[in-house]
Amino acid sequence: MKHRLFFTVVVGLWCGWTAALAADPAAILTFAAITDIQYADRDTIVLDTRFYRNSPAKLAWCAEEINRQQPAFIIQLGDLTDSRKSTDVATITTAMKCITVPWRHVLGNHDAGTGNRDDHTAGCKLLTDALGFKEFYYTFALTNAPGWSFVVLDGTEAGYGAIGAEQLNWFRGVLKQAQARDERVICFCHFPLINEASPRKHIMAKPEPILEALDNAGCVVAWICGHDHSGGYALRNGVHHLTLQGTVETKDEPAFAIIRIFPDHLSVTGFGRVPSRELPLAPAVALRPAA
């Protein structure tokens, strides 16, 4: 009887806590993030840890919580499939429909292929046809989150983990505009930028220009990415570098995060392999570079 009472109390507290998170009126915006789904109709072959065929089932488990909380969107941080076969793309994009909130997408290295221009174009077309991709680097904002904007970067455009000059100039311009509007910015890309946020050092091939852009703008609060399936985190010059754990690496455990934006911090609620974190934000005035 005591055990049953204890279980009832714990479940009640858990349900109350998650309901409070979902309805927290102080949160400016809530979104979900997931990465490295890497579905393929193939056996587990890499270190016996990548369960390619299990991704649709794991998406269904994610859907239960995400649909209940109804975040503003879910960002898919790249490597949706592992094979780029049209049948595999069709299978996983059909499975994604179990999550009913709007999807945003990032291009990963497995999506884009080997990195040469023709392969990149073919990979882009495959996902464009399946998901309605119109651009692979873009920015967006939501009317219910004034003062915040989001930037998606294509880390495969100029090769494996590389950003071309045109995209880099575009990125600098976007950050300059955000700074002029006193906005805070969250960036999404498939690749980490710094070793401290990626224990296996799967960072972008040429991160220095991107880091310089972040430093000069002073309005970016977070760089959220995937690629390194083990995940990681580091704080650099006021920017939270958050690498989410890869979904493909588990047999039957989901891996995703619900991220809430507050005026003074980001709250990351992790599920499965993803740890929860509280990420404090510097005061807005401190984000601006010195004159």
pLDDT band at 281 (very low <50, low <70, confident <90, very high): very high
Q: Checking DSSP bridges between strand 232-236 and strand 220-225, what pairing results, if any?
A: unpaired
Note whether residue 6 is domain-resident.
no
Whether 21 is in a domain gets the answer no
User: Can you give the pLDDT at residue 176?
Assistant: 96
**Mean pLDDT score of the chain:** 86
Q: Are 128 and 140 in contact (CB under 8 A)?
A: no
Q: Does residue 14 fall inside a structural domain?
A: no
Confidence check: pLDDT of 23 > 60: no
Residue 94, in any domain of the structure: yes
- Say if strands 103-105 and 138-140 run parallel, antiparallel, or are unpaired: unpaired
The whole-angstrom separation of Cα 178 and Cα 201 is: 30
Task: Give the residue with greater pLDDT, 188 vs 161.
Answer: 188
pLDDT tens-digit series, residues 48-68: 788 999 999 999 999 999 999
What's the rounded mean pLDDT across residues 199-213? 90
Residue 105 is assigned to a structural domain of this protein: yes
pLDDT in tens, 210-260: 999 999 999 999 999 999 999 999 999 999 999 999 999 988 888 999 999
The fraction of the chain above a pLDDT of 90, given in percent, is 64
Identify the pLDDT of residue 128.
80
> pLDDT at residue 262 above 80?
yes
Q: Does position 291 have pLDDT exceeding 90, yes or no?
A: no
Would the pLDDT of 124 be above 70?
yes
Report how far residue 66's alpha carbon sits from residue 2's, in angstroms, rounded to the nearest whole number. 33
**In the 3-class helix/strand/coil scheme, how is the chain assigned residue by residue?**
CHHHHHHHHHHHHHHHHHHHHHHCCCCCEEEEEECCCCECCCCCCCCCCCCHHHHHHHHHHHHHHHHHHCCCCEEECCCCECCCCHHHHHHHHHHHCCCCCCEEECCCHHHHCCCCHHHHHHHHHHHHHHHCCCCCCEEECCCCCCCEEEEECCCCCCCCCCCCHHHHHHHHHHHHHHHHCCCEEEEECCCCCCHHHCCCCCCCCCCHHHHHHHHHHCCEEEEEECCCCCCEEEEECCEEEEECCCHHHCCCCCEEEEEEECCCEEEEEEEECCCCEEEECCCHHHHCCCC
pLDDT at 17: 41
Q: 7-11, 74-78, 83-87 — which is least confidently predicted? A: 7-11
Mean pLDDT to the nearest integer, 191-215: 92
Identify whether 261 is part of a domain: yes
- Does the pLDDT value for residue 18 go beyond 70? no
| Tokens, residue 259 | 């991220």
Which pLDDT band, with edges at 50, 70 and 90, does 135 fall under?
confident
**What CATH number is given to the structural domain containing 230?**
3.60.21.10
- pLDDT value of residue 24: 55
Tell me which amino acid residue 222 is: A
pLDDT, residue 11, reads 35
pLDDT of residue 7: 32
Within a domain: residue 111? yes
Confidence check: pLDDT of 31 > 50? yes
- List the domain range (segments joined by +) for residue 46: 28-287
Residue 41 lies inside a defined structural domain of this protein? yes
- Residue 85 pLDDT grade (very low, low, confident, very high; cuts 50, 70, 90): confident
Number of structural domains in the chain:
1
